[in-house]
Structure 1
Amino acid sequence: MTVYNLALIGFGGVNRALAEIVAERNERLREELGFGLRVVAVTDLRLGSIVCADGVDLDAILALGPGDGDFSQYEGGSPEPRNEWVIKNAPADVVVEATFTNPLDGEPAVSHCRWALTSGRHVVTTNKGPVALAAEELKALAAGSGAAFEFEGAVMSGTPVIRLVKRMFGGLELSGFEGILNGTSNYVLGRMESGLDFDAAVREAQELGFAEADPTADVEGHDVRLKVAILANELLGACLSPADVPCTGISALTAEDIDKAAAEGTRWKLIGSARREPDGSVSAQVAPHAVPLSHHLAGVSGAVNAVAFDTDLLGVVTISGPGAGRLETAYALLSDIIAIHEAKTTPTTRSVLSS
């Protein structure tokens, strides 16, 4: 039976959750999916790195807490992350990239993906930066080395949207989409409807773990802008950079704006959208809109994400599901590995017609 060796680059919530899935469900995966998984390397800024060709002791490293030392206490371990060395030299088939990434240049994740693909290793990532800023380069590297570059979790975490549309919308023509692609901003707007002011709603989102200590990327729409660029490029055939997507966040909305919308039978949502223009070009934007309660995105509440696609034969098709969460995002990585395995046994893949 095929066994894929994994190198986990970054050992925060998402890759830690993937390690838990491998530790707890590997036998079930073998039975249901026809392949197994073995973690042979892990890197982390705090814990260092560990490489073990026979498989890392996942129970041991998952038990490491703050103050419990680093990977150097184990065979094959080092106190240094050694990301480049591990990516290029560990006996891994798949590099799982889940580090913090600068949204301006995509680093260090772009370099991590580049090193892996150049070395002929498959890459699965949940990072938006490499996909929004360097997808064409990374796809070309993957094609040249016979590797795969998969990134389903970069847009809606564990909720499949890119692969679902590419596989299941064959024969349909897409003219555009609009979506709620950031659970934090959606949660904040919902709490403002309940009477909280903006600052209080953000603090509550932070306390619940929805928002980062610095919520700017969420509430100012920067996170959504990256996701819109990814969806537009992947599903509408655009060539947009994030800078091509005008972006307005929700921080300027007041209690008066919320009350006025409610009185008019509307509801504020931060919406990322893209549309094919008559000349064939694709335009996109991120902005708050007061949508009528009958709108297909009006009922999306809390930290849930949703994207509504405009199609010629089916009309509006909406995909909704969790847009965050460590286990949900880890599942997206697993789904990418499943796709890599399927591609080895199923040579043809249907794609969406977006012209």
Structure 2
Amino acid sequence: MKIALLGLGSVGRGVARVLSDPAYGFVITAAADSKSGAVAQPGSSLDMDEVFSRKAATGRCGDTAWNAERIVREAEYDILVEVTPTNAQTGEPALSHIRTALARGKHVVTSNKGPVSIAYPELAQLAAEHNAALLFEGTVAGAVPIINGLVHGLAGNKVLQLFGILNGTCNYILTRMEEESLTYAQALDEARDLGYAEADPTYDVNGTDAAIKLVILANAVFDMGVTLDDVIRIGIDRLTPDALRMAGTTGHTIRLIASIHPEKRLLEVSPRLIPKDHPLVVEGTLNAVTVETKLAGPITFIGRGAGSVETASAVLADLLAVKERYGGT
């Protein structure tokens, strides 16, 4: 199947690397960064090593005549892979790219949280109207298959509640504060140095990133029809090493927990006390989500929640699902 790849940053590189294996049966026929695009000749595929080399040398992946918007609108492809940076306020330009692709009857696989959190009901309806797939496993927990686990693996189970760690940056900071008695500022600086935190980490540390992921789960899995404003949010920036030490005296630790109670329509992100022997107490940048179900009881998903190859793993799973479902047409 032919793929148009939008976004040539860390995740885009991971996707290109994974799809270079011909065993998967995908070819990249078009690619774009924020300034330019590259389109293969009919019947051929792009040499992505060449595309990335050109971008490194010139700052552009290809010709300015082929930008992302034109590729989505005019290029030949079966699946749009949208992995550009997230805009949590408007979802743009990714939201427009996805709308255009779905309206053309093209399948969409994305790891971009913005469009899915802002406009999931609209996008899902558009996909249904045009017999196109819209898949986004990589938007919530990186390589952890939480959406597929809930929709398919736990099909038929009533979910009583879902709660867990959906932001690796915060988990790393809290882990280091506990292990080394670092202050919040010291742990944050360390996370920045290691590339786990952005230069501006506000969305991570104030709970917004985890809240966006909750909205995606709430709407796509539980059909709750909520927005970011419906999520109660308390961040970790006021936590101290003393608070973690005090928690430790009772056999607890503190983690930033995102939770959904579907029946109560309650969504919350906040620091919480957790027993140190609870499955959610994972270290470093790992994600962990516990799902309490009526039939299967509690089930915990644990894995890497971010990273280029890890997110590419989720994208690949979605691509293979599209290929299986639509038979390469």
TM-score by length of 1: 0.88
Q: Which residue in 1 is equivalent to 2:123?
A: 138
- Alignment of 1:94 with 2:79, yes or no, is yes
1:241 to 227, 239, 247: 227
Q: Residues 224-239 of structure 1 correspond to what in structure 2 (within 5 A)? A: 224-239=210-225
Q: Distance in 1 between the 2:202 and 2:249 partners?
A: 29
2:233 is paired with a residue whose SS is coil
1:296 to 279, 285, 302: 279
Q: CA RMSD in A?
A: 1.5
- Alignment of 1:330 with 2:312, yes or no, is yes
Q: Distance in 2 between the 1:222 and 1:70 partners?
A: 31
2:17 to 20, 40, 45: 20
Whether the aligned pair in 2 keeps the contact of 1:270 and 1:288 (CA below 8 Å) is yes
Query: Which digits, 9 at most, give the CA deviation of each residue in 1:2-53, with x for residues without a partner?
Result: xx11111111111111111222x11x32xxxxxx11111111125x111113
- Alignment of 1:307 with 2:289, yes or no, is yes
Q: Distance in 2 between the 1:127 and 1:100 partners?
A: 7
Letter in 2 for 1:8: L
- Alignment of 1:50 with 2:50, yes or no, is no
2:226 is paired with a residue whose SS is coil
Q: Distance in 1 between the 2:267 and 2:38 partners?
A: 43
Q: Distance in 1 between the 2:155 and 2:63 partners?
A: 48
Q: Distance in 2 between the 1:170 and 1:324 partners?
A: 26
Q: Residues 1-355 of structure 1 correspond to what in structure 2 (within 5 A)? A: 4-23=1-20, 25-26=21-22, 28-29=23-24, 36-46=25-35, 48-52=36-40, 53=42, 54-64=44-54, 66-68=56-58, 70-71=60-61, 77-79=62-64, 82-193=67-178, 194-277=180-263, 281-298=264-281, 300-344=282-326
Q: Distance in 1 between the 2:50 and 2:222 partners?
A: 45
Q: Which residue in 2 is equivalent to 1:74?
A: none
User: How many aligned positions are there?
Assistant: 324
Alpha-carbon distance change, 195 to 55 in structure 1, aligned in 2, over 3 angstroms: same
For structure 2, the 5+ residue unaligned runs are none
Letter in 2 for 1:42: A
Alpha-carbon distance change, 263 to 81 in structure 1, aligned in 2, over 3 angstroms: farther
Q: Identity percentage over the alignment?
A: 40
2:56 is paired with a residue whose SS is coil
Q: Distance in 2 between the 1:117 and 1:174 partners?
A: 30
| Cα distance, 1:256 vs structure 2 | 1.6
For structure 1, the 5+ residue unaligned runs are 30-35, 72-76, 346-355
TM-score by length of 2: 0.94
